[in-house]
Amino acid sequence: MDDKLFLMIPGPTPVPERVLLAMARSPIGHRSSEFAQIMEEVCERLKWLHQTRGDVLILACSGTGAIEAAIVNACSPGDRVLVGANGKFGERWVDMAKAFGLQVEVIAAPYGQPLPTEPFRAALEADTNKAIRAVIITHNETSTGVTNDLETIASHIRAHGEALAIVDAVTSLGATTVPVDAWGLDFVGSGSQKAYMIPPGLAFLAVSERGWQACERSTMPRYYFDLRQYRKALKKFNTPFTTPVNLVFGLQASLQMLKNEGLDNLFARHARLRDTTRAAVRAMGLELFNPDDQSASAAITAVIPPPGIEVARLRSALKKNFDIIVADGQGEMSGQIFRLGHLGFVSDRDVLTATAALEGALRSLGYDRFTPGSGVAAALSALSG
């Protein structure tokens, strides 16, 4: 059936009809007073979602662009930084920091495991000369379904007194709490095609006052990503370069929806869908790539396929027979795991449907080590609990 495809991936995520209709209106001038009024509303609601009184900038790029903007404004060539790496995106920030000539010290964990917090504390406490300029952390490692203990790591950064906290919150912002001010985070980047429930094209970057002071000190070359230009434009509720007007229309609608749901309900829904998905997967006799419930992602659940079932064939069966798209693994886990998204505009019904479809796809490929309906029953039990 045409136009029935459903995305159960970590992004792009499903887009509500209300948002699609908002984006379908005719563009208006991005320097007009009418657009400034929309931007004023959007900026206030971005602060609400980020739990901050500071600036939240809108960039026309992906989440990767937001993290690059943070790095080039926080650091200068030759600065020492700590980078956490326990998946594809942590490794990306290692490569990015090296590309900008930073002295990179990697604190790593195997794929599927959370970052240890103790090495961050030890490295920061040992830095008596205060040479560490920044700590770059992926909050939710999308490639593996692991959420790192950002709150604890951020507390060690604050205790250092000089290092800045640069956070990849691309798939955690809006799915789980990221209280920017309470945790003392300095640069927090996220992307529109995740919990924001709009298509790709916008990134968001919360910046603390310490972050702005770093922008003034940085000697890194920058132009399009010179955040000082964005802060100046923000005072007039605008951006320094051409704003994707229709994406902002969609953002206005999606933020209204999120505001109506409320932060507590928003985070509770994502946690419920995470727990439901994990219960269903276990009931089907499948192995979770991250078996630790404490560090399980609210955005994505990574699953190891049964012996003899190829990830590509399973994903193909889900798409062909049920019009459902799930994600492959990334990096070294490509073809080794599949990932079930429950991020953004996803409901209880969607997870139940995906669970039933997964049961059907597995049975069609010859996997019969579970009682038909056991995954759905476990999901229903989790939802009713």
The contacts of residue 114 (CB under 8 Å, 6+ apart) are: 86, 146, 147, 148, 149, 292, 295
Q: Mean pLDDT of all residues in the chain?
A: 97
pLDDT of residue 231: 98
Q: At what angle do helices 374-384 and 348-364 cross, to 10 degrees?
A: 160
Using pLDDT thresholds of 50, 70 and 90, give the confidence band for residue 4.
confident
26 pLDDT above the threshold of 90: yes
pLDDT (tens digit, 9 = 90+) per residue, 208-222?
A: 999 999 999 999 999
pLDDT (tens digit, 9 = 90+) per residue, 335-373?
A: 999 999 999 999 999 999 999 999 999 999 999 999 999
Q: Average pLDDT in the 185-191 region?
A: 98
Q: Average pLDDT in the 251-266 region?
A: 98
Using pLDDT thresholds of 50, 70 and 90, give the confidence band for residue 3.
confident
284 pLDDT above the threshold of 90: yes
Nearest to 50 by CA among 173, 193, 223, 207: 173
The SS3 assignment for 304 reads: strand
pLDDT (tens digit, 9 = 90+) per residue, 44-100?
A: 999 999 999 999 999 999 999 999 999 999 999 999 999 999 999 999 999 999 999
Nearest to 145 by CA among 344, 15, 333: 333
The SS3 assignment for 371 reads: coil
Q: Average pLDDT in the 236-244 region?
A: 96
pTM for this entry: 0.97
Q: Average pLDDT in the 107-116 region?
A: 98
Question: Residue 185 phi/psi, 5° resolution?
Answer: -90, 140
The contacts of residue 263 (CB under 8 Å, 6+ apart) are: 48, 49, 51, 177
295 pLDDT above the threshold of 80: yes
Right CATH for 17-260 from 3.40.50.300, 3.30.2290.10, 3.40.640.10, 2.60.40.10: 3.40.640.10
Rounded CA gap, 91 and 75, in Å? 18
Rounded CA gap, 103 and 127, in Å? 14
Amino acid identity of 273? L
| Superfamily name with CATH number, domain 6-11+262-384 | Aspartate Aminotransferase, domain 1 (3.90.1150.10)
Count of C-beta atoms within a 10 Å radius of residue 348: 16
Is 191 within 8 Å of 200 (Cβ atoms)? yes
Q: Average pLDDT in the 116-126 region?
A: 98
Cα separations (Å) of 371 from 275, 280, 367?
20, 12, 11
Q: Average pLDDT in the 240-260 region?
A: 98
pLDDT of residue 331: 87
Amino acid identity of 226? D
The contacts of residue 6 (CB under 8 Å, 6+ apart) are: 14, 323, 324, 325, 350, 353, 354
pLDDT of residue 1: 67
- What's 32's DSSP letter? S
Q: Where are the domains of the chain?
A: 6-11+262-384, 17-260
pLDDT of residue 68: 98
195 pLDDT above the threshold of 70: yes
In percent, how much of the chain has pLDDT > 70? Answer: 100
pLDDT of residue 2: 78
Rounded CA gap, 193 and 174, in Å? 11
